[in-house]
Chain A
Amino acid sequence: MPELIRMRVHIVAVLRTVMSSTAVVQDYTPNFQGWIDEFQEWQTRIGFDPSWLGDYRFEIKFDWDTAGENIEFGDFEGMPKWHRRMQIPQQSIRDAIISMISVQGDTEFASVEQQHHLLESAPTEYDRKSALRIMCEEQRHGWQMAYLLCTHFGEHGIREAMKLLERNSAGNPFRSDGEGERLLGSFNEPIDNWLDFFCFTHFIDRDGKFQLKMLSTSAFKPLAASMGPMLKEESFHLGTGANGLRRIVKAGVIPCAFLQKYINKWVSTGLDLFGVDNSSSAQWAYVYGVKGRFDERETDLDADREHLNEASRMLYYQELEDEMTRMNKARHEGEPEILIPSDKFNRGIGDFADSHYTIEGDAFDGSDAEWESYLASVLPSEQDIKQLSEYLKQDWIQYREWKD
């Protein structure tokens, strides 16, 4: 009897092996197709009308030329990049890649949840169509990440792809009670008005550019090859933000001192997106070769593996300062210069989290009550939000026509 059982177990095991390899092939399309069905439900659930897409089609795009042939950094440097899951040498590396793709995908869908309600209050047709284009492309990016998960990472990947559609940004006004929040802080912030929208696209989508570029040198080639087309599209998104803020400064209706408060609000959350200081997960991602530095291909310097997040954050910060220099040139006479607040101010993550620093970067010595009072003076208050709605009734942004 035990022999018969052993034989039966063996036969079942063989059958399972044969069936599972067949199932992978047979289930591939239905799996992604199943995800697509869920995606369409997600659009409706979050309040995004699919008819807004017009003739836009979600495409999977790769740029294999820029993805590189060999692993570019870390402990596997010089070896061929991995095209398939089974080429990845360790489960921990597979898990790290799944996690990165999932976080990236999560942000893409989150931003649509945060922004779609603004379409009906766009200041111009140009802005409405630009925002809609951004939302289409963000959904395409999420679609691309889901495709990678479903195609390359089996059951685990499919489960993670489904989760991308189950969470809902806390910043979405069309959110039901009990829905899980998005993974990162900035993507749960409400984007209540068009000034927030331009700040978000300028500061947070710019962080997105940094993340995409850091993944563009990944050892997992389908991930690296996904980044080129996404980066091309992302440059329009952050350009919309930078250009929108410049148009606001040029119009001169919203005073620069007022704008400064919104910039203070968004810069700190953008800096937080780079993660903790002395990050071991960033270090492991580098050791594995799956996520590089922002300037990985441009720099000759060896990586400081213990401070990878800090290095990327400083490059981001430098870029913000350079952009602000350009923006300040559009100021009306007598308007104060707009500053990028210190990287120590109002941080929720990293060495400066829960510490009190002013926007100039000086330690704040006052009591907690004084700190709250200080924050109220440098961040948008309830009164500022009311004041903003008054500004938004005027010609608050330089007119630009949509050209078709």
Chain B
Amino acid sequence: MLAFPMLVIDRESLKPFFERVPELFQQHHHDASQDAMGYEELLYRIHRPFTNEMLDVIDEWMGLEQQSYREEDAFRLHLFLLAIRYPDTLLLESLDEVLLGDIKRLSGYLHFTKHTYSIWDEDTRKGLMKLGLNIPETGYADAFIYGSYCASIELIKDLAPFYSFIEHDVPRQRLFQAALASFGRE
């Protein structure tokens, strides 16, 4: 756990959120719009070597239109997904604008290929803001903004007490991202 980010967070204000994580997670993850079963299937269906078909099913679950990248961009995206290691986000800067233009889509690819990066979601961002973690609004996959978003969720996960960690098959990043999304919507 890094000490510096803890200086910018009021740990007392997190306590009411932590007590509600199980309930908030259930609200979001098991909402019909989230297709919980579909999500959990994707945890198994996406594996190396990544194919365009796998990315298509991620798009489908995310509710996005299928991507239609040029062959060269698609190749670069595949290499990027193989090369990146959590929690690095600086590698995003090696991608072309066409790929960086959609942070939500890219975060979905990262989440399902790694299970550690968090899905970018506007409600989740609002949830973080309510906890005092100011992440700028954006649609662009900026390495620093997305990096801060993931690091903030990681920090919340580190600080959370044991009773926030319910027994579920989803990765812990998803547990907190989904709870933050419900929290952000309120």
The residues of A with any CB-CB pair to B shorter than 8 Å are 63, 65-66, 216, 227-229, 231-232, 235, 238-239, 242-243, 246, 323, 398-401, 403-404
Contacts of B115 in A (CB 8 A): 403
Asked if B169 contacts A243 (CB within 8 A), the reply is: yes
Distance of B84 from chain A, by nearest CB (Å): 10
Shortest beta-carbon distance from B59 to chain A in Å? 19
How many Å from the CB of A236 to the closest CB on chain B?
8
Cα(A246)–Cα(B167), bound, Å: 14
Given contacts A400-B43, A401-B47, A403-B114, contact A235 B161 (CB under 8 A): no
Chain B interface residue count, Cβ-Cβ cutoff 8 angstroms: 21
Contact among B113, B162, B166 for A66, CB-based, below 8 A: B162
A366, B66: Cα distance in complex, Å: 66
Residues of B within 8 Å of A227, CB to CB, are 162
A66 touches B161 (CB 8 A): yes
Contact between chains at A232 and B167 (CB < 8 Å):
no
Determine which of B44, B113, B166 lies in contact with A399 in the assembled complex, contact meaning CB atoms within 8 Å.
B44
Which 6 interchain pairs have the tightest Cβ spacing? A231-B162, A401-B47, A403-B115, A235-B165, A66-B161, A228-B162
B48 within 8 A of A: yes
Contacts of B11 in A (CB 8 A): 65
- Contacts of B167 on A, CB cut-off 8 Å? 235, 238-239, 242, 323
Task: List chain A residues, Cβ under 8 A from B166.
Answer: 235
CB < 8 Å neighbour of B161 from A65, A323, A401: A65
A312 to chain B, nearest CB (A): 17
Bound together, the chains give a CA A399 to CA B46 distance in angstroms of 11
Q: Report the Cα distance A235→B165, complex, angstroms.
A: 7
Question: Chain B interface (Cβ within 8 Å of chain A)?
Answer: 11, 43-44, 46-48, 85-86, 113-116, 160-163, 165-169
Instruction: Give the contacting residue for B116; candidates A239, A246, A399, A403; CB below 8 A.
Output: A403
Residues from chain B with a CB closer than 8 A to the CB of A235 are 162, 165-167
The prevalent SS among residues of A at the interface is helix
Nearest residue, chain A, Cβ from B111: A403
Contact call A398/B169, Cβ cutoff below 8 A: no
User: Could you tell me the distance between the alpha carbons of A400 and B86 in the complex, rounded to whole angstroms?
Assistant: 19
Shortest Cβ distance from A323 into B: residue: B167
Q: What 15 additional pairs, Cβ within 8 angstroms, besides A65-B161, A238-B167? A: A63-B161, A66-B163, A227-B162, A228-B162, A229-B162, A232-B160, A232-B161, A232-B162, A235-B162, A239-B168, A400-B43, A400-B44, A403-B113, A403-B114, A403-B115
Residues of chain A with a CB closer than 8 A to B161's CB: 63, 65-66, 228, 232
Expressed in whole angstroms, the Cα–Cα distance for A404 and B117 within the complex equals 11
Which residues of chain A are near B47, meaning CB under 8 Å?
399, 401
**Most A C-beta atoms less than 10 A away, residue of B48, B114, B162:** B162
**CB closest chain-A residue, reference B44:** A400
A398 to B46, CA, bound (A): 13
Residues of chain B within 8 A (CB-CB) of A400 are: 43-44
**In the complex, how many angstroms separate the beta carbon of B80 from the nearest chain A beta carbon?**
15
Task: For the complex, give the distance between the alpha carbons of A243 and B170 in Å.
Answer: 10
Q: Which residues of A contact B113 (CB under 8 A)?
A: 403
B12 vs chain A, min Cβ distance (A): 9
Question: Which B-chain residue is minimally distant from A234 (CB atoms)?
Answer: B162
Given contacts A398-B44, A401-B48, contact A232 B165 (CB under 8 A): yes
B37 nearest CB across to chain A (Å): 10
- Complex: A269 Cα to B100 Cα, angstroms: 54
Given the known A-B contacts A398-B44, A401-B47, are A216 and B169 also in contact in the complex, defined by CB atoms under 8 Å? no
In the assembled complex, the CB of B165 is this many whole angstroms from the nearest CB of chain A, namely 5
A228 neighbours in B (Cβ, 8 Å): 161-162
CA distance A108 to B160 in the complex (A): 24
Question: When chains A and B are docked, how far (Å) is the Cα of A65 from the Cα of B165?
Answer: 16
24 A-B Cβ contacts within 8 A? A63-B162, A65-B11, A65-B161, A66-B161, A66-B162, A66-B163, A228-B162, A229-B162, A231-B165, A232-B160, A232-B165, A235-B165, A235-B167, A239-B167, A242-B167, A243-B169, A399-B44, A400-B44, A401-B47, A401-B48, A403-B113, A403-B115, A404-B86, A404-B114
